[in-house]
């Protein structure tokens, strides 16, 4: 399955990002979410101490909500809670930032009994998603154009949904 999306140039933008299939038909959306009016005004300051990154999106029968954990739990490495709703049934998972060098970002996504690694390679403009235990390539996100950033998502297995992949890639793109 292949999907295409255009990410905003300004990382503080909260406009809806349309997720299109190969035929240019909209199948869903994703957007950055702010918790209140203070956070919306706070993003215009040159320094932001308490800049939370939250994402909300919908696609077909899936709804995803990614929320950053509290300041205390994010002291050493960033963590997000992922809440996926499918037909009224909710599941909660965890994303951890395992980046050591900012030019090579890496996020670990813990879903049920499996763990997935999101590795972003800035030099060849790809983000590869692997299963941690078996190194099987589950999906790939390719950056086709930098300004505005057009991305193509290729899902190779049924382990992850495309809304999860794009949501986590969007988080990774905002942070790094």
Q: Say whether pLDDT at 84 is over 90.
A: yes
Chain segment 39-78, per-residue pLDDT in tens: 666 666 666 555 678 899 999 889 999 999 988 888 888 9
Confidence of residue 36 (pLDDT cuts 50, 70, 90): confident
3-state secondary structure string, the chain? CEEEEEECCCCCCCCCEEEEECCCCEEEEEEEECCCHHHHHHCCCCCCCCCCCEEEEEECCEEEEEEECCCCCCCCCCEEEEEEEECCEEEEEEEEECCCCCCCCEEEEEECCEEEEEEEECCCCEEEEEECCCCCEEEEEEEEECCCEEEEEEECCCCCCHHHHHHHHHHHHHHC
How is the chain split into domains, by residue range? 2-90+139-175
Say yes or no to pLDDT of 137 above 80.
yes
């Amino acid at each position: 399955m292949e999907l295409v999306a255009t990410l905003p140039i300004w990382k503080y933008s909260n406009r809806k990002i349309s997720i299109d299939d190969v035929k240019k038909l909209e199948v869903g959306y994703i957007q950055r979410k702010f918790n209140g009016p203070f956070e919306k005004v706070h993003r215009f300051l040159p320094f932001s101490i308490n800049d939370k990154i939250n994402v909300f999106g919908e696609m077909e029968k899936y709804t995803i909500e990614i929320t950053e954990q509290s300041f205390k739990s994010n002291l050493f490495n960033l963590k997000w809670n992922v809440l996926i709703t499918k037909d009224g049934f909710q599941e909660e998972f965890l994303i951890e930032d395992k980046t050591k060098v900012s030019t090579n970002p890496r996020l670990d996504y813990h879903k049920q009994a499996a763990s997935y690694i999101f590795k972003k390679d800035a030099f060849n403009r790809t983000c590869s998603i692997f299963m941690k235990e078996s190194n099987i390539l589950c999906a790939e996100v390719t950056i086709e154009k930098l300004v505005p950033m057009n991305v193509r998502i290729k899902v190779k297995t049924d382990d992850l949904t495309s809304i999860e992949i794009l949501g986590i890639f969007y988080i990774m793109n905002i942070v790094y």
